[in-house]
Structure 1
Amino acid sequence: MKYYNDEAIQSVYQMPDAIEDIRAVLEDVRSQHIIMKERTVIEVLGTENTMLYMPCINTRSMYSIMKTISIFPENNAQPVSQGVTLLSELTHGAHVATLESSYLTRLRTGAMSAVATDHLAASDAQVLGVIGTGGMAFEQVLGVTAVRDIQTIKLYNRTTDKAHAFKTRLQAVTTADIVVCQTAEEAVTGADIINCATRSEEKVFSHDHLKRPVHINGVGSYLPSMREIDTETITQADCIVLDDIEGARHEAGEFIQAEQDGSFSFSEAVPLAAISTLPQQPLEITIFKSVGAAYYDLAVTVGAYQRLK
C-alpha cells in the first residue's frame, strides 16, 4: 500500500483539478452512485479539539474512503487541521493507498466554494472580503479567484499579524490589490463576495454592512454551537445552498439556530448537487454553507491518487 504526503499531492494536484473532480462527483450524487454514512464527530472533553471520521463509497469510480481528521485550534507547532484518508478499490477490496489529507481537505472545500461562487456570484464580481485567515482560508481564496476576476481582496483577522502574514502568502499567487482591514465591517463593506472561515460562536459581520448583490461562502462553523452568518442575512437571502443538507441539519450552527427561531427551514435550502438546476439570474443575497461530506473527500482523494500512482 502506497503512502502520499501533502507535499507529493500538492506537486501534482491543484485547484483546477479539484474543481473538475468536485463537479464530477456532484453528477455521481445526482446519479445515486454515492453511498455515505453520516460522519462521526467526537469532541475531546475539556478541550476545543475535535476528531472526525468520514466513510464513503462511489459505485461508479469503484473506490471507497475512510477519512480521519483532527481539528486542534490551539496548535502552534503542528497544523490546526490534520487528516489521513485510507483509499480502497471496490473490485477486490484492496487498500491501495493512504493519503495525507490536510491539504486535500482545504482544497476540496475551496473547490466546493468555487463551484457555488461560479453559479451564484455576480459575473462581474471584483471585490472579495475575507473574514478569518486561518488554516482553511487560503484555498478558499484560490477557489474564488479561479472563477472570478478578483481585483481587490480585503482581509480581516482578529490577530492583525496573522492577516499580514496571509497577505504576504497571497501576494505570491495573485496580482489583486490586498488590503488588511482593522474591522470585519471594513472587510465586508463593498465586497461582492465574502468568505468566512472562523470558529466563531457569534456572527462575524452585520447584515447592515452588506452591499447588493453579494455572495457569501461560510466554511468555518461545523458544530451546532458555532455561527458566522447572522440570522437576518439568512432570512433575507434569495438562495441558500448547502453542501450536504443532512450534514448541515446537525452541524451548521447558524442555520440550526435560525430554524429553531423560526427564521429558516432546511427545506428551503438547495443541495450543492442540485446547483446546476438553478437559473443563473441576478440575486441580491446568496449563501453557500459547507460543513463537509465524505463524497467530496472521496472525489479529491481519487483524483489525486490517479495522478500520483
Structure 2
Amino acid sequence: MLHITEEDVLKHYSMKQCMKDVEKAFSLSKTTRVDIPFRTILHHNGEGAHTLYMPSYIEDIQYASIKISSLFPSNKEIPMIQSLIVLTETISGKHVATLSASALTMLRTGAISGIGTKYLSRKNSEVLSVIGCGAQSFGQVQAIMEVRDITKIILYNRTTDKAELLSAKIFELYSSWAGEVIIMEDANEAVKAADIVVSCTSADTPVFSGKCIKKGTHINAIGSCAPNKHEYDVHVLNRASKVVVDTFEGAKNEAGGLLIPHNNNEWSLNKIYGELSDVILEQEEVRNSADDITLLDSVGVGFLDTICAASIYTKIKEIYK
C-alpha cells in the first residue's frame, strides 16, 4: 500500500487540477452512482474537540474512500486539524493508498469556493475579502485567484498574526502578482469593499453583518459547519438573491447559518436555489443583474475526497514506480 504524504500532495497536485476534479465530481453526483453516507461525528473531551468519519464511493471512477478528520481547537504544539484518507479501488476491493489529508482538504475546500465563485460571482470581481485566516484560508485564496483577476485582498482575523502569516504566504506563492494585501481589524469594514467574501471561521455567532455587504457581492461561507454555529447573520440571507449549497443533505444537517434562521422563522430552507452541482450542469447565468448578492454555503462532502485522492494516487504511483 502506498502512503502519500502532505509533501507529495503539495508538490504534485495543483489547485487547477483539484478544481477540475471537484467540478467533475459534482457533475458525476447527478449523472452516475455516488454514495455519500452521512458522516459520523465523535465528540471528545475538550471544548469543540471531535473526529469525523466520512465515507464515499464514486462508481464511475471505481474508487471509494473514507476520510478521518480530527479537530482539536486547543492544540498548540500540533495542528488543530489532522486528517487521513484510506483509498480503495472497487474492482478487487484492494486498499491502494493512505493519504495524509490536511493539504488535500485545504485544496478541495478551496476548490469548492473557487467553483462557486466561477459560477456565482461577477466576472469583473477584483476585490477579495477573507474573514478568518486559519488553516483553510490559503486554499480559498488560491482557488479564487484561479477564476478571477483579483487586484486586492483584504484579510481579517481575530488575531492579526494569522493574517500576517497568510499575507506572507500569498506573496511567496504569487511573487509576480501586482496586487495588494491589506489587513483590517474590523470584519464589517473588511467586507464593505469586497466583490467576493470568503468566510472561513469557527465562530459560534456572526462575525460580520449582512447589512455591510455591498450590492453585487458573492459570499463563500465554508466555516462553522455545525447546526448550532453561524458565521454570517440573517441579513445576508434576506439580501441574497440566490443561496446555493454543496448538498441539500449537508445543509439540512450542518449549515448553522441556514438552520438557525430557519428554526427561528426568520428565513426558510425552501428558499435555497439549488445545489452547486445543479448550477454546474445548467451552465446558465445564475445572476439576474450585476447587483445580485449570491451566497454559497458549503459544509463539505465526502465524494470530493474520493475523486481528489484517486487523482493524486494515479499520478503519484506513476512517479514512484
CA contact under 8 A between 2:33 and 2:60: conserved in structure 1? yes
Contact in 2 for aligned 1:242/1:288 (Cα 8 Å): yes
2:107 aligns with 107
Distance between the aligned counterparts of 2:275 and 2:314, measured in 1?
27
Q: Tell me, in whole angstroms, the C-alpha distance in 2 between the residues paired with 1:26 and 1:98.
A: 23
Confirm or deny that 1:275 pairs with 2:279. yes
Task: For structure 2, list consecutive stretches of 5 or more residues without a partner in the other structure.
Answer: none
The equivalent of 2:209 in structure 1 is 206
**CA–CA separation in structure 1 for the residues paired with 2:46 and 2:137:** 27
Q: Which residue of 2 aligns with 1:169?
A: 169
The aligned runs of 1:11-26 (5 Å cut-off) are 11-26=11-26
CA distance in 1, matches of 2:215, 2:88: 46
Identical aligned pairs, as a percentage?
33
Q: Quick one: which of 301, 306, 315 aligns to 1:307?
A: 315
- Name the counterpart of 1:289: 297
- Cα distance, 1:112 vs. partner? 0.7
Q: What CA distance in whole angstroms lies between the structure 1 residues aligned with 2:74 and 2:122?
A: 37
2:23–2:115: 8 Å Cα contact kept in structure 1?
A: yes
Residues in 2 aligned to 1:74 and 1:163: alpha-carbon distance in whole angstroms = 19
Aligned to 2:256: 253
Counterpart secondary structure, 2:198? strand
* Structure 1 residue 165 displacement after superposition: 1.6
Q: CA deviation at 1:184?
A: 0.6
- 1:71 corresponds in structure 2 to 71
C-alpha contact (below 8 Å) 1:241/1:289 kept by paired residues: yes
Q: Aligned ranges for residues 26-41 of structure 1 at < 5 Å?
A: 26-41=26-41
- Which residue pairs with 2:96 in the alignment? 96
Structure 2: which amino acid aligns with 1:103?
Answer: A
Which stretch shifts more, 253-262 or 192-201?
253-262
> Any residues of structure 2 matched to 1:84-163 within 5 Å, and which?
84-163=84-163
Residue of structure 1 in register with 2:57 after alignment: 57
Q: Secondary structure of the equivalent of 1:172?
A: helix
For 1:132, the aligned partner's letter is G
Distance in 1 (CA, whole Å) between partners of 2:120 and 2:297 is 12
Q: What's the CA shift string for 1:230-287, capped at 9, x where partnerless?
A: 1111122111111111111111111110111223333332111111225343351100
In structure 2, what is the Cα distance between the partners aligned to 1:248 and 1:190? 28
User: Offset of 1:22 from its aligned partner?
Assistant: 0.7
Q: Specify the SS of the correspondent of 1:216.
A: strand
1:78-136 CA distance string (max 9 Å, x none): 11111101000111100011111101111101001111100010100000011100011
Superposition TM-score, scaled by structure 2 size: 0.93
1:266 to 269, 275, 280: 269
**What is the CA–CA distance in structure 2 between the aligned matches of 1:152 and 1:49, rounded to whole Å?**
35
Q: Does 1:298 align with 2:301?
A: no
For the 8 Å contact 1:51–1:68, the answer to whether it is kept is yes
3-state secondary structure, aligned to 2:201: coil
Task: Tell me by how many angstroms 1:159 deviates.
Answer: 0.5
CA distance in 1, matches of 2:77, 2:148: 34
Deviation of the 1:67 alpha carbon? 0.8
Tell me the distance in 2 between the aligned counterparts of 1:170 and 1:46: 33
Q: Indicate conservation of the 8 Å contact 2:210/2:239, yes or no.
A: no
Contact (CA 8 Å) 1:245, 1:266: kept in 2 or not? no
Q: Distance in 2 between matches of 1:160 and 1:46?
A: 25
The number of residues matched between the two structures is 309
Q: Which aligned runs of 4 or more in structure 1 are off by greater than 4 angstroms?
A: none
Deviation string, structure 1 residues 129-178 (Cα, Å, up to 9, x no partner): 11100011110111111100000000011101221121111111232200
**Structure 1 residue 9: deviation in Å?**
1.4
SS in 1 for 2:85: strand
Which moves more between the two structures, 190-199 or 229-238? 229-238
Deviations 1:183-236 (CA, angstroms, capped at 9, x unpaired): 112211110000111010111111221111000011111111211111111122
